[in-house]
Chains A and B, each alone.
Chain A
Amino acid sequence: MQVLVCIKRVPDTGARLELTADGQELDTRNLEFTVSPHEECAVEEAIRLVEAQGGSATVLSLGPEAAGEQIREALAKGIERGILLETDGGEWDPAATATAIVSAIEDEAFDLVLFGNESADAGNYQVGVRVAQALGWPCVTSVKQLELESAERALAKREVPGGWELYPLTLPAVVTVKEGINSPRHPSLRGIMTAKKKEIVRLKPEKSAAQLVKLGLKKPPEGRGQIQMLGEGTAAVPQIVAALKELGVL
């Protein structure tokens, strides 16, 4: 089985988000980079499928040269090969991203293409669907369980209030996954060493015209007023009880 997993390099944010002076980007000077939790799970799912079924897994990222770091991390966990669609670092809208991915993979023979349900930063919820439609493949989004029934059939499940929706699919297919589908592994020391020798194919895709153009970013207004401190340690308990009563929850 040939599996492709697509990831996106994003800043690893902590408790605060700061913008650059021109309001165009997140100020990443003090931040590390990572991929979203959904995508970490997509990488893990790709590795597990290949461990169980045989075949090989490939990781793809569209982004700046530095996105090679995130590809290398996936290779260290057990993915075999990387593809970097190298950009100048600017924003690519979902349609342009999907077009570049499709042209990079249409000559390959993948059975399954995995995405995270949405990227952590842009949250457009559509690159996976666009890739599937361009390839004429079925696609299920928001998947939290994936079972392979045969070489051609899979069952994808998504969690909704009160239960699970079941979607049978015929491969090849695109599946976008959510965190919770598995618990991602950490790379082993040996994995990190072997990853250094694995191949990363570097391509420079053509950027198609954007339909959704970012004009700028801003912080939302802080909705909350002044915090009321109720005290320290167990001495605060009577004030907590009073506050619970005031809020009508006790």
Chain B
Amino acid sequence: MGRRLAQQMDQPLAALLAGAPEASGLTDQLKEYGVSRVWLTGDERLARWAPQAQARVLARLIEQERPQVVLAAATDRGNELLAYLAARLQLGLATNCTEVHPGDDFTVTRLRWGGSLLEEARLLSEPKLLTVALHVNAPEPQPAESFQIEQFVAQLEERDFIIQMSKMEESAHEGVSLAEAKVVVGGGRGVGNAEGFKSLEELAQLLGGAVGGSRVATNNGWRPHADQIGQTGAQIAPELYIACGISGAIQHVVGCKGAKNILVINKDPEAPFFARADYGVVGDLREVIPALVEAIRRERGD
């Protein structure tokens, strides 16, 4: 989005890599996607995430270079960094933008309700601060005509590190994660209890996929919260999402919008999820899933 915007505004696209010296490994990638100028801070102290310090570096660079627009990705860190920057500089910030319309009236289209509604908004302050919604624009390589790398001295003080990640605790990882899985099998109220997820797990295992749940499933303790698919849980984008016993509340549907195909299995033919699916089966998941598991096993000659 940055490159397209820069072309539209007839401005160069520059990037700041405010991190430890290792971060300089990303410069080739930036060049390939149309960045013509990169600043490196190469400050060891920025090796671990420190949003206030990062925002300070960015604020100083903005003061020096006076850009018209500053963008970051709408990840936890990207939203956090620009929130710190916006607060420090007392500027407006539009998060999760899907489109930007530069001009006298600088407007954006941004996600609301986890993406189930779009908002048109005007951003009044300068420079324009925005974060770009994930999975909205497909990045296309298009190298810039010129490319230069410069050092930017961070000049950070102790108090800028008032908040910093101290370390990362790795958790034991079992199987395929929801975010990476090619197939996700999800269960909701219709599954009935934790025990009911067993057949969903068997199906997921046969398909090399992962199991998730609706908010009903995680709130009832049938699945851990980390397995929640939805607005306040994980956003998934598998080839196929098999939703079992899930009615299709907005809270859940926005979490699986990115799925290429959705198969809904629900005994209620009126379930709203059918209106947002590619394939549908009206039936009790407690009968359909075990029969499907059986059929796949037979198919494979197990």
Contacts and interface: CB of A to CB of B under 8 A. Distances in A.
Contacts of A30: none
B248 interface: yes
A122 interface: yes
19 contacts: A13-B113, A15-B273, A95-B90, A123-B96, A125-B79, A129-B84, A134-B87, A158-B76, A211-B92, A212-B124, A213-B122, A215-B121, A217-B112, A218-B117, A228-B279, A230-B281, A234-B283, A247-B261, A250-B296
Given A120-B231, A140-B163, A210-B124, A129 B80 contact: yes
Contacts of B115: 220
Contacts, number: 246
A16 B140 CA distance: 35
Main secondary structure of the interface of B (DSSP, over half): mixed
Interface of A: 13-17, 19, 26, 36-38, 93-95, 98, 120-126, 129-130, 132-134, 138-142, 144, 157-170, 178-180, 183, 210-220, 222-225, 227-234, 236-238, 240-241, 243-244, 247-250
Nearest to A180: B225
B274 interface: yes
Interface residues of B, number: 94
Contacts of A139: 163
Interface of B: 49, 52, 76, 79-80, 82-84, 86-88, 90-96, 107, 111-125, 131, 162-171, 173, 177, 179, 182-183, 207, 209, 215, 218-219, 221, 225-226, 228, 231-233, 239-240, 247-251, 253, 257, 261-263, 272-284, 287-288, 291-292, 295-296, 299
A13 B251 contact: yes
Contacts of B278: 224-225, 227-228
Contacts of A142: 76, 80
Contacts of B295: 237-238, 240-241
Main secondary structure of the interface of A (DSSP, over half): mixed
A166 B167 contact: yes
Contacts of A216: 119-120
Nearest to B96: A123
Q: Give the one of B83, B116, B263, B291 with max A CB within 10 A.
A: B83
Contacts of B113: 13, 17, 120-121, 123
A213 B124 contact: yes
A165 B119 contact: no
